[in-house]
Amino acid sequence: MSEAPPAPAAPEITAAERDELRRHGILLTSLEELYNWGRSNSVWPLQFGLACCAIEMIAASMARFDIARFGSEVFRPSPRQADLLIVSGTVTKKMAPQVVRLWNQMPEPKYCIAMGACAISGGPFKQGYNVLKGIDRFIPVDVYIPGCPPRPEALLHGLMQLQEQIRAQKISGPEAPRHLRPEASGEFPVPEFGGSDLVPPRNPDLWEPPTIVRAE
């Protein structure tokens, strides 16, 4: 498949061929748009609540906020039918392997929203011995929604950001999303319980501690 916008014509390409390429490109672009349109308007979350934020997630699906308007009220209880993992609450170390397992069980294309302080960084509980300091140590997160808990509107806002992100995706080329690149796996190693921490405590391929940049 070619790139969506036709590459600058090399001299040996004739006009007819270029037309052909462009048509191809238009077709591809339309396909891409349709594909992205379909995915972005039918994001089914996994029915998976962890803690306080789960209540606001439920509230977002309730009448006042009605996540159904975005086509996302189909909270599927089985990860096999879900597109979106909303990590809604504190991920404890005891729970982390299950969350990664759930993520692995979801079919591609799949997305992850870290909802609330706990899911992003451990939040107020980050100093706890059993609290994972951010789910992005084990699975890739698409959108972070800060708040403790974020308002239901904030979740909707995050969902809209995710939709925008999906709409901007290319179905070919180097910046294609993970699920369209054959070399990228949607399966992530599940940590194991160790004597005093998870083993490993993070997925080194996915998360590197950033450098501390701090003026004293």
Partner 1 sequence: MSAHPANALPLLERLPVALRDACTSWLPESWRWLANSLLSIVAIFVVFATLFALLTLAERKILGRVQNRPGPNRAPLPFLGIRTYGLAQPLADGIKMLTKEDIVPRGADRVLHFLAPVALLAFSILTFAVIPYGRALLPVELDAAVLYFFAAGAATELAIFMAGWASRNKYSLLAAMRALAQLISYELPLLLSIVPVVLVAGSLSTSEIVEQQGTWLFGVFPQWHVFTPWGFAGFLIFFVAALAESNRSPFDLPEAESELIAGHLTEYSGFKYALFFMAEYFGMCALSGMGVTLFLGGWQAPIPALAFIPSYGWFAAKLLALLFVFMWIRATFPRLRIDQLTRLAWKFLVPLALVNLFTAAFWVLSSGWAGPLAFARWLVAGTLVLGPFLVLGRRLSAGLGPRTYRYA
Partner 2 sequence: MLGSGLLQGLAVTAKNLAGSFHDPARYVTTEYPEQRTKLPENYRNFPFLVHDDPADPNGTLRCVACQICEKECPPQCIYIVMERDEKGKALRRPKVFDLDISVCISCQICVEVCPFDAIKMDQEYEIATRNRFGGLLLHREDLSKSNAYYHQIHPTEAAGVDAALAEQKAKQAAAKAAKAAPAPKAAATTATPATAATAQDSAISPAPAAPPPASAPDTPANPAPANPPPDA
Partner 3 sequence: MSAAGELAGLSAAPGTTVRAVNDPFHGDLLEVSMGPHHPSTHGVFRMMVTLDGETVVKLKPVFGYLHRNHEKLGENTTYLGSMPYTDRLDYLNSMTNNWAYALAVEKLSGQPVPERAEYLRIILAELTRLLNHTCLAGFLLQDTGCSGTPLMYAFREREHILDLFEALSGSRMMCNYQRFGGCRVDPTPGWLAAAARLVDGYGRFLDEYEALITGNEILMARTQGVGVLQPDLAVNAGATGPMLRACGVDYDLRKVDGYGFYPRFEFRVPLGDHGDTYDRYMIRVLEMRESIRILQQALRDLPAGPIIDAKAKNRGLRPKAGEAYGRIEGPKGEIGFYLISDGGPNPYRYRVRPPSFINLTVLEDMCLGQTVADAVVILGSVDIVLGEVDR
Q: Are 29 and 4 in contact (CB under 8 A)?
A: yes
Which one, 147 or 189, has the nearer CB to partner 3?
Answer: 147
| Strand pairing class (84-88; 111-115) | parallel
Token code pair at residue 192? 């194991």
Kindly tell me which residue out of 18, 21, 55, 73 binds partner 1, with binding defined by CB under 8 A: 73
Residues in contact with partner 3 by the rule CB under 8 A: 47-52, 54-56, 58-59, 62-64, 77, 79, 89-90, 92, 94-95, 98, 102, 118, 124-125, 127-131, 148-149, 151
Token code pair at residue 43? 């994001």
Reduced 3-state DSSP string for 100-150: HHHHHHCCCCCEEEEEHHHHHHCHHHCCCCCECCCHHHCCCCCEEECCCCC
User: CB-based contacts of 27: which residues, under 8 Å, 6+ apart?
Assistant: none
Which one, 9 or 68, has the nearer CB to partner 1?
Answer: 68
Q: What's the CA gap between 122 and 137, in Å, rounded?
A: 11
Q: Give the chain's count of helices (H) and strands (E).
A: 5, 5
| Strand pairing class (198-199; 192-193) | antiparallel
Q: Which stretch binds partner 1 (CB under 8 A): 2-10, 13-21, 92-100, 107-115?
A: 107-115
Count the residues of the shown chain that bind partner 2, applying the rule CB under 8 A.
38
Short-list 208, 86, 93, 183, CA closest to 144: 86
Given partner 1, partner 2, partner 3, none, residue 107, with its beta carbon under 5 to 8 Å by kind, binds partner 1
Spell out, one character per residue from 100 to 129, where the chain touches partner 2: x when CB under 8 A holds, - when not: -----------------x--xxxxxxxx--
Given partner 2, partner 3, partner 1, none, residue 83, with its beta carbon under 5 to 8 Å by kind, binds partner 1
Which one, 6 or 122, has the nearer CB to partner 2?
Answer: 122
Q: Which stretch binds partner 1 (CB under 8 A): 4-12, 79-87, 112-120, 124-132?
A: 79-87
Given partner 3, partner 1, partner 2, none, residue 197, with its beta carbon under 5 to 8 Å by kind, binds none
Q: What's the CA gap between 158 and 88, in Å, rounded?
A: 12
Residues that bind partner 2 (CB under 8 A): 63-66, 69, 117, 120-127, 134, 136, 141-148, 150-151, 153-154, 156-158, 160-161, 165, 210, 214-216
